[in-house]
Structure 1
Amino acid sequence: MKNFLKKLLIFLFIAASIYGVGRLILVTYDSYLHVPRAPYAVMQTQDAITIKWQTPEFEVGSLEYGFFSDSMNTKIRDKKQTKKHSITISGLNECTKYYYKVSSDSLDIDNEDRSFKTLCKNADSQKIWVIGDSGEAGKDQDRVYSQMLKHIDKDFNKLDMWILLGDNAYRSGTQKQYNKNMFEPYKELVKRFVPWAIIGNHDDRRWAFYNIWDFPTKGESGGEPSGSEKYYSINNGNLHLVMLDSEMRRIDANSDMVAWLRKDLSKNTKPWVIVALHTPPYTDGGHNSDSDYDSGGRMKKVRENLVPVFDEFGVDLVLSGHSHDYERSKLIAKHTGKGKSFNKQNIVQDAKSCYSKSIKPAKNSGTIYQVCGSSAKLDQANLKHPALPFAFQEMGSIILDITPTTLSSKFINIDGKIMDEFIIKKDNTSCEGKK
């Protein structure tokens, strides 16, 4: 009997070792597999941008750009032959649209209407498309996308930014899955906009995410330098946008990310502050934020360690995904516990669709929390979290419209119906008489 148990333990150890090595090989392969990829823009700043693409063969790539699609008079070439191309264009004008085209001997590239716009110091208005858990190609993803196009009259000039809230490529965020589920379905958007994407738990199953994207670490896009691609901020027009990696193992009150977040928000001068992260502090959808174990306890950590910072600096809006549904709060503050502890004392303004705040950020002035994780998938959900009274088991996406004094949001479902909308005003006019 003892001999049998000994042999069994040896067998299990060997099997586990083989599985572990095999798993490591698979993860590495999926993360760094070279796949051809059409050009896309990253590292958008007020005076520079980086264009990346991947070719099947080694070659010296080249890029031309200019103010007009029929007159691109500046050309930049790779310094050496490569399959992974990355060219930074610098010395650009602020808040300016440029056209560009990329030449390749081994990759067929569609250069029609390929363009980018540098970040703006100021803006009269901005329109932003927000999608969450969008990484599953198919008819549902396409219908959600189509409704956004209808909203802007299929005129990409009406759109200013594109935010992806994580789980951008199911099932595991591999290089191939990113091509199939993000770059191909949204290729017309990719040709014109920087995909400001955050990592989700499914993207985090591989190491491809931070291999695909380049994010600012030195404050290149505005805000406080972070020294990390996992958290950073962007200043564009009226918006200070904070991007956080909620898949990190440490989301503690004394973590580097939280310390940076406090410093970044304390220095912000933009009228609107939006935070984007995959993991919501409140949800009763496909995931349950009241569970200490759901999602490895990350929702609890976000609620306990990040929400107090949002309260302290008067963050206006927190966007997240993860639960495959739509949920929204009123203007709330000072709630770090489970759903049953939420009460009217946490509601700063008890309204359905119109809220007002001061221009200058104020502590505990209230934040709206939006969960939008249904841009390609939909799960069964209870949708009974007391902090999230506006909730729908609907697929869709968010359109944000921002001016110096107003921030409005519309959740548009897969059929084009506006299921939820609200406005936050900082123009000294009240919401009296409005719900």
Structure 2
Amino acid sequence: MSHPSVPRIGRAFAGLTVVAACSAGLLPATPAAATPDPTHPSGGTPRTATSYPNLARTPPMGWNNWSYYMCDINEEVVLDNARALVRTGLAKKGYDTVTVDDCWMAKQRGPEGELVADPEKFPHGMAYLGRQLHRMGLKFGIYEDVGTATCGKYPGSLGHFQQDADLFAHWKVDYLKADGCNVPVPPGSTKEQAYRDVYGRQSRALEATGRRITFSVSAPAYFQYSGDRLWHQVIGWSAELGNLWRGGADIALEKDTAAKKWSSIAFNFAYNSDLAGLQRPGRWNDPDFLLAGDSGLTQDEIQSQMSLWAVMAAPLISSTDLSALSPGARRVLGNEEIIAVDQDPLGVQGRVVQREEGVTVLSRPLRNSDRAVALFNSGDTARTLSTTASTAGLPDADSYRLRDLVTGRTTHSGQDIVAEEVPPHSTVLYRVGAR
């Protein structure tokens, strides 16, 4: 089922074909049925936001339906994928949050202004869904929009922030992804002020519930092409209002070609890898979903995305049909040594330390004084990649231990860190320590 026609961000960048992403298209006014929001009295000035509780000590992990299923979602699809997380052992490895994205609700609010689950898609309601997930040992995530409507034109939270947050808390929601497709800009305000205001109200409403709800902010994605100064400024306040934030373009959809999927992975990596200076432990840049699964991508490509996301300390949120996961995709998602890099307690995003045509090298400090070093061949032919211990930020030593986290092989080297004949679109991820 296709997502309703909503404009989404899109632009060529670094020679890559960019996939659709949520737009910054705005509706002109709030809904007529909107009720006063107690967190922001009419005519008042938004109070200064304090930092949202640090509820994601390591990057969130789990599953979201959007990239694979879009609006073709229902109770059984969600629960089947949740059971697959448990059955495959992925839940025990950290993939513990199941999030229902757009189109889960009815087109109209209920008689008291409350959100209502679509009775055909979720006949038992969202509280029931949350109970089932919790009984499996999983967390319950849900989607909303801080504007007048969601990207799929379902009811947004504007005018209902506290009412919706209280309802989510009543449903025992653990994670909220808040989009920003339809945020009106009041007269006399800038677009940034409008977004900061509504995301601030959503943040305060969640905190007022008293329930620990991890908050995913989508605001930066609507400023990706507004210039780096403004984009980075939005990321700065998003990191105060929530626990993670979508930085830019959506990852490709299941219906897209394999080539378009790879282009979107490379594009999202390119923008996110340059945002390391804006991340801090417990506050995460989110370059969007993992596509490992029945996607048409090669094993090297899905492994590459996993390795790059891990070295960038990105959330690991799968969006595929987990009930039909191939053995190869399961190995990629379940690689415990790569997950350990992503979830390293230092919580530091890897930085680009070397870049040339078709090659990017990133290095990330890890808790035990090792470094994760990723050598990414984005080109279309195999090539030998190398960097030096000094460039990677390693301490002086006569030799180094290199653990290839994909093959599991350990070798030793001098000052040069080399990966021979790396296939196209592949990433070699080493855990490196001084001998």
Structure-1-length-normalised TM-score: 0.26
Greater C-alpha Rg: 1
| Structure with the higher fraction of residues in strand conformation | 1
Larger helix percent: 2
